[in-house]
Amino acid sequence: MTDPRFELVGAKPQAEAAPQKMRRHRPPYSTAVLLALIVLPCLLAEVVMTRDPAYMDLAHCLVAPCREFIFGTDSLGRDIFSMIWYGGRISLTVGFLATVIATALAMIIGSLSALAPRWLDALLMHITDILLSVPSLLLVLFLQAFFRQNSVFTLSIVLGITGWMGMSRVVRTEVLQLRGCEYMEAARLMGGSFFYLLRRHLAPNFIPSLMFMAVMQFRSAVMAEATLSFIGLGLPLEVVSWGSMLSLAQQALLTASWWVVVIPGAFLLVTLVCVTNIGNHLRKVHSHGERNL
Amino acid sequence: MSEALLSIRDVHYTHRLSGGVSVPALRGVSLELQPGEIVGIVGESGCGKSTLARAVMGLLAPQKGEICYNGINVHHPQNMAEKRCLQQQRQMIFQNAALSLDPHFSVEEIICEPLRLAQLAPQQGSYREEAAYWLQQVGLDALFLSRRPQQLSGGQAQRVAIARALAARPRLLVADEPIAALDVSLQAQIVNLLRRLQREQGFGMLFIAHDLAMVRHLCHRVAVIYQGRLVEIAPTAELFRAPRHGYTKALLSAMPLPDPRQEKQRQPQYYEQPVSDGGVWHQASPQHYWLAEDGEVGE
Amino acid sequence: MQPLLEVKNLKVTYDSASGPVQAVRDVSLQLQRGEVLALVGESGSGKSALTKSVMRLLPPSAAVEGEVLLNGTDVLHMPERHLRELRGKAMSMIFQDPLEVLNPVLTVRRQIAEAVRLHDPQADTEQRVRELLRLVEIADVERCAASLPHQLSGGMRQRVVLAIALAAQPQLLIADEPTTSLDVTVQAQILDLLKSLQERLNMATLLISHDLSVVARLADRVAVMYAGKIVEIGTAEEIFYQPAHPYTWALLRSLPGFSADEEELYALPGIPPTLIDPPAGDAFAPRNEYALAIDYEQMPPFFRLSETHFAATWLQDARAPRITPPLQRRCGE
Amino acid sequence: MNQRIFQLIKRLLIVIASILLLSVIVFTMSRLAPGDPLIAYYGEQAEKLSVEEREWAMERLGLNDPLPQQYGRWLKQAAQGELGLSYKYKQPVMQVISARMGNSVLLVGSSFVLLCVLSLLLGCICACYEDSLIDKLLRRSGIVFSCLPEFWFSLLLILLFSVLLPLFPSSGAHCIGRADSIADRLHHLVLPLAAVLISHAWYYAYLVRNKLCEEVRAEYVLLAKAKGLSRLRILLWHCLPNVLPGYISLMVLALPHILGGTYVVEAVFSYPGLGALIYESARYHDYNLLMVLSLFTGAVVIAANMLAQALNERIDPRTAGINTEVSYYD
Query: Looking at the 3D structure of chain D, how many domains does it have?
Result: 1
CA distances from A234 to A230, A266, A268 (A): 7, 20, 16
In a domain, D290, yes or no: no
pLDDT of A132 strictly over 80: yes
- Minimum CA–CA partner of D237 in chain C: C106
In a domain, B87, yes or no: yes
Contact A14 C270 (CB under 8 A): yes
Contacts of A157 (CB under 8 A, 6+ apart): A97, A98, A101
pLDDT band at B299 (very low <50, low <70, confident <90, very high): very low
C203-253 pLDDT tens trace: 999 999 988 888 998 999 999 999 999 999 999 999 999 999 999 998 888
Per-residue model confidence (pLDDT) at position A204: 84
Rounded average pLDDT over D190-197: 91
Residues C170 and C271 in one domain: no
In a domain, C227, yes or no: no
Contact C57 D318 (CB under 8 A): no
C324 at interface of A, judged by CB pairs closer than 8 A: no
Residues C92 and C26 in one domain: yes
Cα–Cα distance between A75 and A83 in angstroms, integer? Answer: 13
D chain contacts of residue B19, beta-carbon cutoff 8 Å:
321
In a domain, D38, yes or no: no
Most confident of A186-195, A270-279, B1-10: A270-279
pLDDT of D329 strictly over 60: no
- Give the minimum alpha-carbon distance from D255 to chain B in angstroms, rounded to a whole number: 29
Contact by Cβ (8 Å): B281, B294? no
Q: Which helix (H) or strand (E) holds C66?
A: strand C63-70
Positive or negative, the Cα torsion across A71, A77, A82, A85?
A: negative
D chain contacts of residue C115, beta-carbon cutoff 8 Å:
227-228
Secondary structure letter of residue C275 according to DSSP: T
pLDDT band at D325 (very low <50, low <70, confident <90, very high): very low
Contact B152 A196 (CB under 8 A): no
* Domain extent for D128: 93-283
Question: The CATH number of the domain where B257 resides is what?
Answer: 3.40.50.300
- Minimum CA–CA partner of B95 in chain A: A182
From chain D residues 223-262, the ones with a CB under 8 A of any chain B CB are none
Residues on C contacting B at a C-beta cutoff of 8 Å: 42-43, 154, 183-189, 191-192, 210-214, 216-217, 219, 236-237, 240, 250-252, 254-259, 263-269, 271, 329, 331-333
Rounded average pLDDT over A77-90: 88
Contact C57 D220 (CB under 8 A): no
Rounded to the nearest angstrom, the gap between the alpha carbon of residue A140 and the centroid of all alpha carbons in its chain is 18
Say which residue, C33 or D326, is predicted with more confidence.
C33
Cα–Cα distance between C289 and C313 in angstroms, integer? Answer: 13
pLDDT mean across residues, chain B: 88
pLDDT band at A92 (very low <50, low <70, confident <90, very high): very high
In a domain, C233, yes or no: no
Cα radius of gyration (chain D): 24
Per-residue model confidence (pLDDT) at position D12: 86
Cα–Cα distance between B53 and C267 in angstroms, integer? Answer: 27
Per-residue model confidence (pLDDT) at position D7: 78
C chain contacts of residue B262, beta-carbon cutoff 8 Å:
331-332
In a domain, C232, yes or no: no
CA distances from D322 to A176, A214, B72, D313 (A): 15, 28, 40, 9
Contact by Cβ (8 Å): D191, D158? yes
Please name the member of A3, A13, A291 whose beta carbon is closest to the beta carbon of C286: A13
Query: Looking at the 3D structure of chain C, how many domains does it have?
Result: 2
Say which residue, A36 or C328, is predicted with more confidence.
A36
Per-residue model confidence (pLDDT) at position C332: 44
- Strand segments, DSSP code E, in B52-203 are 64-69, 72-73, 90-93, 172-176
A chain contacts of residue C282, beta-carbon cutoff 8 Å:
none
Residues C172 and C317 in one domain: no
Please name the member of A246, A275, A290 whose beta carbon is closest to the beta carbon of D152: A246
Say which residue, C108 or D77, is predicted with more confidence.
C108
A chain contacts of residue B164, beta-carbon cutoff 8 Å:
186
Contact C103 D318 (CB under 8 A): no
Residues C156 and C70 in one domain: yes
B196 at interface of A, judged by CB pairs closer than 8 A: no
In a domain, B297, yes or no: no
* B172: number of Cβ within 10 Å: 21
Q: For the sheet containing C303-304, what is the strand order?
A: C91-94, C172-176, C204-209, C36-40, C221-226, C229-235, C310-311, C303-304
Of C44, C172, C156, the residue nearest C108 (C-alpha): C156
- Minimum CA–CA partner of B169 in chain A: A190
Reduce the DSSP state of residue C230 to 3 states and report it.
strand
Rounded average pLDDT over A54-82: 81
- Minimum CA–CA partner of D323 in chain B: B18
Please name the member of A18, A21, A183 whose beta carbon is closest to the beta carbon of B102: A183
- Give the minimum alpha-carbon distance from D222 to chain A in angstroms, rounded to a whole number: 6
Contact by Cβ (8 Å): D70, D84? no
Contact C267 B189 (CB under 8 A): yes
C28 at interface of A, judged by CB pairs closer than 8 A: no
pLDDT of B68 strictly over 90: yes
C chain contacts of residue D224, beta-carbon cutoff 8 Å:
103
C17 at interface of A, judged by CB pairs closer than 8 A: yes
In a domain, D32, yes or no: no
pLDDT of D319 strictly over 70: no
Please name the member of C84, C105, C168 whose beta carbon is closest to the beta carbon of D241: C105
Contact by Cβ (8 Å): C64, C243? no
- Minimum CA–CA partner of D239 in chain C: C103
Cα–Cα distance between A10 and A13 in angstroms, integer? Answer: 9
* C300: number of Cβ within 10 Å: 23
Cα radius of gyration (chain B): 20
C chain contacts of residue B191, beta-carbon cutoff 8 Å:
265, 267
D200-220 pLDDT tens trace: 888 888 888 888 988 888 889
Question: The CATH number of the domain where C134 resides is what?
Answer: 3.40.50.300
Contact A277 D143 (CB under 8 A): yes
Cα radius of gyration (chain A): 27
The residue count of chain D comes to 330
Most confident of B263-267, C127-131, D5-9, D184-188: C127-131
The chains in contact with chain B, meaning 3 or more Cβ pairs closer than 8 Å, are A, C, D
B100 at interface of A, judged by CB pairs closer than 8 A: yes
- Give the minimum alpha-carbon distance from D306 to chain A in angstroms, rounded to a whole number: 12
Per-residue model confidence (pLDDT) at position A9: 83
The chains in contact with chain C, meaning 3 or more Cβ pairs closer than 8 Å, are A, B, D
Say which residue, B2 or D165, is predicted with more confidence.
D165
Please name the member of B59, B87, B156 whose beta carbon is closest to the beta carbon of A185: B59
In a domain, D311, yes or no: no
Contact B185 C42 (CB under 8 A): yes
Cα–Cα distance between C66 and C74 in angstroms, integer? Answer: 10
Contact C18 A20 (CB under 8 A): yes
D chain contacts of residue A126, beta-carbon cutoff 8 Å:
18, 21
At residue D116, φ and ψ (nearest 5 deg) are -60, -50
* Domain extent for C16: 5-219
CA distances from A273 to A97, A268, D146 (A): 20, 9, 8
Residues C116 and C184 in one domain: yes
pLDDT mean across residues, chain C: 89
Q: Which amino acid is at D125?
A: I
Predicted model pTM: 0.85
Contact B210 C252 (CB under 8 A): no
Which residues are paired to C11 by β-bridges? C25, C65
Contact B254 C192 (CB under 8 A): no
pLDDT of A179 strictly over 50: yes
Rounded average pLDDT over A114-122: 85
Residues on A contacting B at a C-beta cutoff of 8 Å: 15-16, 18-22, 181-183, 185-187, 189-192, 196, 200-201, 204-205
Cα–Cα distance between D25 and D246 in angstroms, integer? Answer: 29
Rounded average pLDDT over D240-269: 87
Cα–Cα distance between C306 and C303 in angstroms, integer? Answer: 9
D34 at interface of B, judged by CB pairs closer than 8 A: no
Cα–Cα distance between C88 and C116 in angstroms, integer? Answer: 9
Rounded average pLDDT over C255-284: 77
In a domain, D304, yes or no: no
Contact A12 C286 (CB under 8 A): yes
Counting residues of chain B whose pLDDT is more than 70, the rounded percentage is: 96
Please name the member of B59, B83, B143 whose beta carbon is closest to the beta carbon of A15: B143
Say which residue, C47 or A23, is predicted with more confidence.
C47
In a domain, B298, yes or no: no
Rounded average pLDDT over D233-243: 91
Rounded average pLDDT over C253-273: 74
Contact B151 A196 (CB under 8 A): no
In a domain, D312, yes or no: no
Question: The CATH number of the domain where D213 resides is what?
Answer: 1.10.3720.10
Please name the member of A15, A18, A189 whose beta carbon is closest to the beta carbon of B151: A18
Of D260, D149, D268, the residue nearest A242 (C-alpha): D149
Per-residue model confidence (pLDDT) at position B239: 92
* Domain extent for B259: 6-292
Cα–Cα distance between C208 and C49 in angstroms, integer? Answer: 11
pLDDT mean across residues, chain A: 83
Contact by Cβ (8 Å): C264, C283? no
Cα–Cα distance between A154 and A160 in angstroms, integer? Answer: 10
